[in-house]
Structure 1
Amino acid sequence: MSLYRLETERVIGEIRKRNAGVVGLQFPEGLKMRAVELAEQIESETGATAVISADPCFGACDVSDRKMRDMVDLIVHYGHTPLPLDYEVPVIFIEAASSVEVGEVIREAADRLSGHRRIGIATTAQHLHLLDQARSLLEERGFEVVTGEGVNTARGQVLGCNFSAIRGTDADAYLFLGSGNFHPLGIKLFTGREVVVADPYHGEVRDIEEFADRVLRVRFARISRASDASRWGVVVSSKAGQMRFELALMVKKKLEEAGREALILLAENISPAALLPFRELEAFVVTACPRIAIDDSQLYDRPLLNPSELEIVLGERSWDDYTLDEIIHG
């Protein structure tokens, strides 16, 4: 049985209804192994030509509409919920809801959270339909359960660049339902509270403390190293959902007012290879997705900071006030 509900009948129905002759398919890395199978089924049942995007995909901020604008009639984007952006090609979003069983890990997480009363729950697009079940299981154990209303997200939903759904929940501790470390790390940094991860894919429950401590040590080292840099690159993404040019201009101005030199660099995929030629620059600030500086930090030979980390370098923010940057559309 598939781990995700890919709603293939709905997709095929939409292609037929729209009479789409060429259909673009876009997947996050975890779903790319299903791409060939789905493309073959779509072509077989609709007669349309499928074009699979082989580029990395980081979210609804990264839809291939501009690349595919003169090529396809419709894009099917898997694994994310839509953002309030103006896409240049009609886009269908398939959330790829998870079909894994979560009861066991939720009950184990409840045992881990037993010292708390008020629990906040958060998850990603794949598990939104399971929040009610998680709430019920926790309430059966006597917890008071809260979920926050996010800005341009569903209730209880967090993105890699948007943690607004956990603001104002005022919970004693948080339960993150899903896999990976970045989302629960964001919750930890925004709240300062204990965060327990219930990962149904690996059948494990863990806290995020050790990982958060390791990340913060690395970030402290990068910020300290960047403090002496006099020549900076301010990196702007050309991806429509991540482009924050006004922020880049503001960052450049801040650096120059602090007596540093700053140049703006534009890149679609921000990577060590993209920044390697600019050897004269001693440090970079990335104004795109905040995960870039966190996830791939060890791959860069010079400090790559988020704007809030630059504020620490410039003395505008204290280390005790460390947080992740967010991109909130709308």
Structure 2
Amino acid sequence: MTEAFSSNSESVIQRSVDVSATEARSPVASLEDTYQISETCHFINSNEFKKVALQFPDELLVDSIAVAAAIQRGSNAKTYILGDTSYGSCCVDEVAAEHAGADCIVHYGQSCLSASRRLPLMYVFGKRAIDVQQCASSFRDLYTDLQSHVVILYDVVYSHAIDSLMQLLGDSYPNVVASSLRTDHCHGNGRYDQEPSDSQDDRVICKFGRQFRLKEGKNTEDYGMFFIGREGLTLTNFMMTWNRCRFSSFDPETSLGRTESVNINKALMKRYYAIERAKDANVVGILVGTLGVANYLTIIEQVKESIRKAGKKSYMFAMGKLNVPKLANFLEIDVYVLVACPENSLLDSSEFYRPVVTPFEMEVACNRNREWSGEYITDFRDLLPGGSSHVDFSDPDANEEMTDVSLITGALRTSGLRSELENGTPQSSSVVLRNQTLTVANANTAASFLAGRSWQGLEQKLGQTPVVKAVEGRRGIAIAYEDEGNNTKDC
């Protein structure tokens, strides 16, 4: 953690990133095929787009200029390359595209497939190399029973090989189901549609941009999950969501298959510990981790309301990509809740000074109607009204203070609106009535924390500081100002 606060500034400035073309471009296909130049031009020309934003992850920036030039030759549109995304590269950066005045976005590479709503969107996943024969062989080694019920999940960059894999396995394994990608939630006019939940047939599972159909009389717990891709956030998200299923994986880069040995119960208990920390918290920071996922404003308002009903204070932060130094600036915050896409929500906060929880964990901590059952939700849209896991809060009129014991500190804690409600109307002031003798107290927890700190900031000393004329400041960068070493007086 010390290195996060102190590093060699000279090495940071002089550091260079060497990305070779072989790292970015798949050897199994040409530039035209890998980046679907013809399909992209057809998408642009058919919708008569004039400005197109091309969003690349860091590992694909080496091909960005060639791709942009090819698209401009095949269409009448002007292209803008989006490199450094505001948040995770798996999410569509609509804010950066709107800054360029783009009419649509073409997203390249790895994607979380989170629904977006502002601009028309096209996904180009690319075709990363995979040995299909070796993948099928690893599958047979892991599932020796030919009647095994298995769902095949995969990183989007390997979607091009799934049909070939199913041809090798289909005759021998009649109960194997391959998931399909759903990329039709954003149409040419920018209209957003929710992922369909077939009420007539509950065997159709739509989750995280994937869709698959279960056999008659089966549910997800009856299936094993075979994941194709590297170990990372995508696999972790799947394992946390379907934590009662047996998982195995195949890594195309190493051509090795294995049974996932991560003890998912330990991971869930770590998350439950974070929930207990959220219950103990008095001041909560809401971290805005996305500006592109649909309904992110709705979930932020719902989180703020749940925190208020639990008798806690909340503050909202928008700081782009998170790191330890950023969050260490706000010691008043007891716990943070991160609103982001499903893959970026499961942040490992072991290096942070305060825990970082998900909206689901915050709701478990604040909503007494939601009980911990081992179920885990990473997609915040499931928590919204109409979602598959929405749970209503208690009626505010019937809401009263509840007291329990913290499993971490062993101290008593209370939750509820306390005296904030009077005749059903929330009070705007932080000064509330404590008892019938008109004793008042300041209910602002953050202000109380500030008052108890030994250092509260620089003293203003109004009227005591002399007024001076503006002088020329230093020139250069912090590591080497131009006047350093000349024994000149600091300006």
Q: TM-score, normalised by structure 2?
A: 0.55
RMSD of Structure 2 on Structure 1 (CA): 3.8
Number of the residue aligned with 1:108: 138
Letter in 1 for 2:225: Y
In structure 2, C-alpha distance between the alignment counterparts of 1:171 and 1:135, rounded to whole Å:
20
The match for 1:28 among 57, 75, 93 is 57
Number of the residue aligned with 1:241: 293
In structure 2, C-alpha distance between the alignment counterparts of 1:201 and 1:282, rounded to whole Å:
41
Check conservation: 1:147, 1:169, Cα contact below 8 A.
no
In structure 2, C-alpha distance between the alignment counterparts of 1:294 and 1:82, rounded to whole Å:
16
* Higher relative contact order structure (alpha carbons within 8 Å, sequence separation ≥ 6): 1
Check conservation: 1:25, 1:52, Cα contact below 8 A.
yes
Change (3 A) 1:172 1:21: closer
The match for 1:136 among 160, 167, 187 is 167
In structure 2, C-alpha distance between the alignment counterparts of 1:299 and 1:124, rounded to whole Å:
28
Check conservation: 2:52, 2:103, Cα contact below 8 A.
yes
Letter in 2 for 1:326: D
Number of the residue aligned with 1:325: 378
Check conservation: 1:236, 1:264, Cα contact below 8 A.
yes
- Largest Rg, 1 or 2: 2
Shift of 1:275: 3.5
1:207 lines up with 2:259 in the alignment: yes
Once the two structures are superposed, residues 171-207 of structure 1 have per-residue CA deviations (whole angstroms, 9 ceiling, x without a partner) of 4311112223333333333331111112223312123
Q: Whose helix proportion is higher, 1 or 2? A: 1
1:122 lines up with 2:131 in the alignment: no
Number of the residue aligned with 1:53: 82
In structure 1, C-alpha distance between the alignment counterparts of 2:93 and 2:151, rounded to whole Å:
31
User: Which range is displaced more, 39-48 or 228-237?
Assistant: 39-48
| Equivalent residue pairs, number | 326
Shift of 1:27: 1.6
Check conservation: 2:364, 2:371, Cα contact below 8 A.
yes
Unpaired segments ≥5 residues, structure 1: none
In structure 2, C-alpha distance between the alignment counterparts of 1:81 and 1:249, rounded to whole Å:
23
Unpaired segments ≥5 residues, structure 2: 1-25, 183-193, 197-203, 388-491
Once the two structures are superposed, residues 49-97 of structure 1 have per-residue CA deviations (whole angstroms, 9 ceiling, x without a partner) of 5432122364675233654454445533213497664334x54432324
1:1-330 equivalences under 5 Å are 2=27, 5-12=34-41, 23-42=52-71, 50-56=79-85, 58=88, 61-64=91-94, 67-72=97-102, 74-79=104-109, 80=111, 85-88=116-119, 90-114=120-144, 117-147=148-178, 152=195, 159=208, 165=212, 168-169=219-220, 171-191=222-242, 192-210=244-262, 212=264, 215-216=267-268, 218-237=270-289, 239-241=291-293, 243-314=295-366, 316-328=369-381
Residue 205 of structure 1 aligns to a residue whose secondary structure is: strand
Once the two structures are superposed, residues 6-40 of structure 1 have per-residue CA deviations (whole angstroms, 9 ceiling, x without a partner) of 11244356567777665422023443343244335
Once the two structures are superposed, residues 254-306 of structure 1 have per-residue CA deviations (whole angstroms, 9 ceiling, x without a partner) of 22332322233345545545544332111011232243342443343211111
Runs of 4+ in 1 over 6 A off after TM superposition: 16-21, 44-48
Letter in 1 for 2:365: V
In structure 1, C-alpha distance between the alignment counterparts of 2:206 and 2:155, rounded to whole Å:
5
